[in-house]
Structure 1
Amino acid sequence: MKDRLGSIIYVGKARDLRKRMSSYFLASRKTRADLKTRALIDSICDFEFHIVRNEAESLLLEGKLIKDYRPRYNVSFRDDKRFLLLKINPNDPWPRFQMTRLKKEDGARYFGPFAHSGALRATVDWLNRRFGLRVCRPREPGEIDYKHCNADIIRNCSAPCIGRIGHQAYLGQVEEACRVLEGKGKRGIFDDLRADMEKAAGRLNFERAALLRDVMDNLQKTLEPTRQFTRGRGVPTTVKPMEDLAELGEALHLDGPPKVMECFDISNVSSNHIVASMVRFTDGRPDNQNYRRYRIRTVQGQDDFASMAEVIRRRYARILLENSSADPDAEVSQEDIVEAQRRLAREGRARIVLPDLVIVDGGKGQLGMAVKELHNLGLHDLPVIGLAKQREEVFVPGRSEPILIPHDRGALKLLQRIRDEAHRFANGYNSLLLRRRMKESLLDECPGVTPRRKEALLEKFGSVARIKKASVEDIAALPGISVKSAETIVQWLNA
């Protein structure tokens, strides 16, 4: 679901899409809905839908889209937790299955992701028992590990640690288990399990029959064919980065599409927590490895203009410093600094590539400070704009009136995406710093200081050192802290 600006505000799935959509616009539904649902209904302006093959695919795609776009009205899947993968490393002496949520370039084989974690765990247990694979943690188990293991006794392991199975034979069992996870020979496995289940039921061994039934159900869920949805591949989308870049270049009258863009945002939770973020988009897509975050050092109090000046100065002074070693003749050259940086990038000698466009989150004030700092560094010709949130106005240097890009154009949506990503990254860093301060605080040992009081104290004063300097009256002014409690806090901290 999208709002009038084209931003994704909700992602959901349904077996009957018509029924699900119509339910949002029934008058009776809206009157019974909570405030959040009513706000969502009022914000809906457009829809985009994708058809998948089964329930597992819909769950995987829903989670992927929510993590990519972080819609305002979604609650589930917004954290960094991913669907389970199954990993086995053939380079280990005795390979074993391991569950993980992150795929790495470590030479291991990965299967998944899997939408049903419970079914996956049960399937892996069945595979380990059926093929006699080890489950112990040592990379190369031996006789000492065998003494503390009962898997061989209960016939769940082939005991490669004491040589009861040869190395090649064990690897053959591993390969057979991997073939099952790839879906090869699935029909034969289900036929065997079904025959065993019927035999057990015929012998009135209903417990065994129920167990085999559950094994088949879990295998069916785990081996159900699903596509791996990744951004830009496998997921249909209306986002067209290269077209949006070309359109943005024309709207801003640039020399060409801004293939590399950097956007800055300032986050103020209080005067004690001032941070900034810089996110980089390359070819219209997030370049996460080149994101940067900053703690503002020279600004006292909440001053977005001065904070923006500091982070712009630090970022581009660092780029010039890093690239100076690649161009030792730059100090005596008459070449423009921006053109010199572009030349180093073309020659592949630039350690950090100068962006084609700099974006600051804010209006004329933030833009003016950014332009001033870039001029001080000699980067007069570096394109820079300001994006104001209220009306999505684009401000450019030397022009009093903003550029108004229509809200349905891809150029503005691209600017919104990079601005929102910078905002998310800055707020995440601010939250991280606050959690660290709360966890690593002397206030944990202070009598009478509850977690809520500790949060209020750190929010107000910023650090334990400042709390020590505060008066009893200042501390007692906080909600939930009496004069007596404030006296106790002051006495304990200054003891």
Structure 2
Amino acid sequence: MADPSTYRPAPGTIPDSPGVYRFYDATGRVIYVGKAKSLRSRLSSYFADLAGLHPRTRQMVTTATGVTWTVVGTEVEALQLEYSWIKEYDPRFNVRYRDDKSYPVLAVTLDEEFPRLFVYRGPRKRGVRYFGPYAHAWAIRETLDMLLRVFPARTCSSGVFKRHSQIGRPCLLGYIGKCSAPCVGRVSADEHRSIVEDFCDFLAGQTDQLMRRLDKQMQEASAELEFERAARLRDDLEALRRAMEKQAVVLGDGTDADVAAFAEDELAAAVQVFHIRGGRVRGQRGWVIDKVEETDTKALTEQFLTQFYGEQAALADQADAGGSPVPREVLVPQLPESSEVIAGWLGELRGSKVSLRVPQRGDKRSLMETVERNAKEAFQQYKLRRAGDLTARSAALQELQEALALDSAPLRIECIDVSHVQGTDVVASLVVFEDGVPRKSEYRRFEVREGAEGGDVGSIDEVVRRRFARYLSETGPDSGQSGEGEQGIDPETGRPRKFAYPPNLLVIDGGAPQANAASDALTEMGITDVAIIGLAKRLEEVWLPGDPDPVILPRTSEALYLLQRVRDEAHRFAISYHRQKRGKRMTGSTLDAIPGLGETRRAALLKHFGSVKKLRQATVDDIVAVQGIGRRTAEIVHNALHGAIEDDGGQAEPGQGADSAEDTTRG
């Protein structure tokens, strides 16, 4: 591991001007490329205190052995040079939005004498025009089959075309009218190319002109009493309309735009793009990337725009198929810092002005929300696939064992998280993962009492003591177990006891103070065989009790992904319980103010009537019917509620109002 101070440029030698910089390793390979408005300011940030750097940035600067830079005249030049170098060097620490080759497109071989239409996956080729990408290949084939009756272009391979040319007989499509059969000379090369060009114009969004032309031809044929030709043109028009209906109209003004949205966490991000042409969804793309440094949505947007449109422009130039890959408008969730510079660069790629903006209202805002939902769904599916991968889970457990120097892989992991609002309604959650998979039947939740006064550290101490006190009581000599083979089993029910099994690894949501508090609590209880770590969310640092420095796991490691998932699940569970508890307190506030009405009676009233609103509608006799409520108490409640109608319109859920038990299960 290199020391960044050994290759830090001398003070004053870095120019204070726009430019692009490259970090390289001991072999001379470029490992990171970046751009900056001020090279001096940006590069100086890399040589600050290592402890204050983002973990991935820290890994990059300690891997590098040198840095060079190139000064440019404008930010646009820096943008272009950064993209070129990322494409050329493919640095390991840069995010790459590579085109997903699994997406199918509709290809048209304009470079051939008789152009061919076909579904294609793979790199772009010169002289071929592409439409899409589409989410599913069957959708392209279905649309193509429908359009072939209107545009009977060739779809066969070169071998099939040559064979039918030799035998002088067309294929089946030629006989049923879905191919103009240029192989046997039914149409000339120019006539066939005209059919293909009309097909391309239709897919490119120039539909109105073609529809009007066919409608005019149909009317003329009908006027000339050529009813068979008129019927065929009518069927062609209907086929085009059905094909257009398959492309949903999302913007009625015929807008040409790309809409991009992100779903992200600290380690990865999902990107979804909808391509809107003529107001219709013409294609969709998606990526999931691993973050290589601390990146917000603005920075992600800038990286995406630069790399995606730079790549698409290069592919368009290589294919020489005409048209621009950059639409007139690009809609994004947040504008990047250098939005004007990027918009100008996109305008240069397109050859005309490009609008880069965030939709605020109307149809475009609704469309952005749809794309965001797709991004979140894609991100969730990615996380589920990764979590369900047995190989990845095994690798994560093995990495944790090695990184934390454990005697064995942590097959059972428990995580504790505390939730509160400014010290009120303090609760905690305990979630359990076995073999890297959540076991929700083992989840527990706690109401924090004494420890709440000590803040998060005190709360962690209390929850750890309560959890492991139950463990000791259920596995100790007074637990009622009669044999070694029955450890952790309730002799009456034959089922496992709630807290009978200790974790191999206890994860605390927090940093060094929280981890130390949990360790001290277990030490005082005489438990020494449970490994403890704290997971600090800000920099995803892993803290071991008593260690002055954290353990830094690689950002792309399966171990860190598993720890993050465990921590997030504990946070979700704690938050849901905190909201439930706070909601019960707020909805029961009217009853709390009634003198002489204790917790048990409040719970009984809410359980019987279901809500404060229904309780207000009850008579004194109705209230007396509740078990434990006398007439005097009923009169006090009735009078208090009718005097407080204007003060509180709260309503409690059925069954709420009583405090939860000390430890309850929630799956």
Query: Which structure has the greater CA radius of gyration?
Result: 2
- Say yes or no: TM over 0.5: no
Greater share of strand: 2
TM-score where L is the length of structure 1: 0.44
Greater RCO, CA 8 A, separation 6+: 1
TM-score where L is the length of structure 2: 0.33
